[in-house]
Amino acid sequence: MSYPRIVVLFGIATSIVFLAISTILYSRSSLSEQNSSKLETFGGHTPGYPILTTTGDVIDPMNSVINPKNAVVDPMKYLREFNYGRVSTSPNGTVIRDFTLIASDQHTKEVSPGVFYNVWTFNGTIPGPTIRATEGDIVRITLINEGTKFHSIHFHGIHPAEMDGVFEGIAPGGKFTYEFTAEPFGLFLYHCHMQPLEEHIGHGLYGVYIVDPKQGRPPADEMVMLMNGYDTDFDSENNFYTVNGIPFYYMHHPIQIEKNRLIRIYLVNMLEFDPLNNFHLHANLFNFYKTGTKLVPDEYTDIVSLNQGERGILEFSYKYPGKYMFHAHKTEFAEKGWVGLFLVKDDKNESVNQSLNVTSAMNNTSYSKNNFSNVTNIVPIGGYK
């Protein structure tokens, strides 16, 4: 075969291949354009590239509903619910707060629509109740172990060694009462400290502990946000990330707040298996009080990163009405559930100010401390005096 003929045939073959490739690329481009309106939106984050299918790792239960009877927690109720215990007074006038926490480890609950998990809980929820006291109060917590394993409670803060909940586990069927003075003021946490620790924390045995300063803090719409995750396939990697127990919950049930009202968030990171977690607030900045042990802010920012067990108080207000996102500024965490919305309202309405109105009632002198011994969803300034 002559050289010129080979060159001609090679040119024809090259043209055919180029035409075929161009046709395929054009077809895919047309398909992408036709399906652009069908792109998945994960937690409000639309990907910047045309993903038409997923591996199943990203789950946004937008149109699914958890039966409250099966859910691991009611995130909206938990958000503003504070447990002040059963209140009494010692002969010398010191306020005593008694709490009861029941540990369990044998139940299965829904942590995301259609996803059931063996949860280990204090009082039946993840996170456990938010315990709140005022600096100088006597705090007594009775742990009842209704589980099948040894459990304990380790409180962050200052207390005697025998109340640290590390070396003495409570056997199944047993109980123990921890007693200490609430000090110092600040934001703390509690969790089971039995080995293997990552198993007890990873399954959900933790909660928030707040100690108010004696002089109180400025009035605010207060809420608790605890960052956590779930390893539902037991490979030491989280499948879901949340704030307050249910992935994407606040994305589809925005938290209503009032324009120009001071918002105070007690933020705690209890995420297992990942070394770092964070919180980002959209279109705003917040004063950050690290650990809440000072009355002067440490930083004015829009994002804060926390290791496991770290926490801080965020204070801010919104100038303009509308919807604003808050989420982990780690894309994987946000797209697997750690994302939500604030709905800033222009006018005052009962749904936004319900807890604040109850606060006003508490400050009325016609009420005594004991009237509120078991009350929840209240935001007193500085707790009981």
Let me know: does 187 contact 266? Beta carbons within 8 Å: yes
Out of 2.120.10.30, 1.10.3720.10, 3.30.390.30, 2.60.40.420, the CATH code matching 75-372 is: 2.60.40.420
What is the residue extent of each domain of the chain? 3-33, 75-372
How far apart, in whole angstroms, are the C-alpha atoms of residue 315 and residue 210? 16
The tens place of each residue's pLDDT in the chain, 385 residues long, gives 555 555 445 555 555 555 554 554 444 444 444 443 333 344 444 433 333 333 444 455 555 667 767 899 999 999 999 999 999 999 999 999 999 999 999 999 999 988 999 999 999 999 999 999 999 999 999 999 999 999 999 999 999 999 999 998 999 999 999 999 999 999 999 999 999 999 999 999 999 999 999 999 999 999 999 999 999 999 999 999 999 999 999 999 999 999 999 999 999 999 999 999 999 999 999 999 999 999 999 999 999 999 999 999 999 999 999 999 999 999 999 999 999 999 999 976 545 444 443 333 333 322 233 333 333 333 333 332 2
> What is the total residue count of the chain?
385
Query: Residue 46's Cα: distance from chain center in Å?
Result: 22
> First vs last Cα of the chain: how many Å apart?
104
In this structure, the dihedral spanned by the alpha carbons of residues 78, 281, 209 and 296, taken in order and rounded to 10 degrees, is -140
Q: Enter the pTM of the model.
A: 0.78
Let me know: does 273 contact 227? Beta carbons within 8 Å: no
Encoded tokens for 123: 């009082």
Q: What is the pLDDT of residue 374?
A: 35
How far apart, in whole angstroms, are the C-alpha atoms of residue 120 and residue 205? 6
Let me know: does 71 contact 109? Beta carbons within 8 Å: yes
How far apart, in whole angstroms, are the C-alpha atoms of residue 339 and residue 243? 8
Helix/strand/coil (H/E/C) assignment for every residue in the chain: CCHHHHHHHHHHHHHHHHHHHHHHHHHHHHHHHHCHHHCCCECCECCCCCCCCCCCCCCCCCCCCCCCCCECCCHHHHHCCCECCEEEECCCCCEEEEEEEEEEEEEEEEEECCEEEEEEEECCECCCCCEEEECCCEEEEEEEECCCCCECCEECCCCCHHHCCCCCCECCCCEEEEEEECCCCEEEEEECCCCCHHHHHHCCCEEEEEEECCCCCCCCEEEEEEEEEECCCCCCCCCEEEECCCCCHHHHCCEEEECCCCEEEEEEECCCCCCCEEEEECCCCEEEEECCCCCCCCEEECEEEECCCCEEEEEECCCCCEEEEEECCCHHHHHCCCEEEEEEECCCCHHHHHHHHHHHHHHCCCCCHHHHCCCCCCCCCCCCC
Q: Nearest 5 degrees, angle CA 90-CA 93-CA 96?
A: 45
Parallel/antiparallel/unpaired status of strands 206-212 and 131-134: parallel
How far apart, in whole angstroms, are the C-alpha atoms of residue 295 and residue 313? 10
Encoded tokens for 264: 């105070």
Q: How far is CA 280 from CA 224, 284, 303, in A?
A: 15, 9, 4
Query: Residue 54's Cα: distance from chain center in Å?
Result: 25
Phi and psi (nearest 5°) for 314? -110, 135
Residue type, 134: T
Q: What is the pLDDT of residue 65?
A: 67
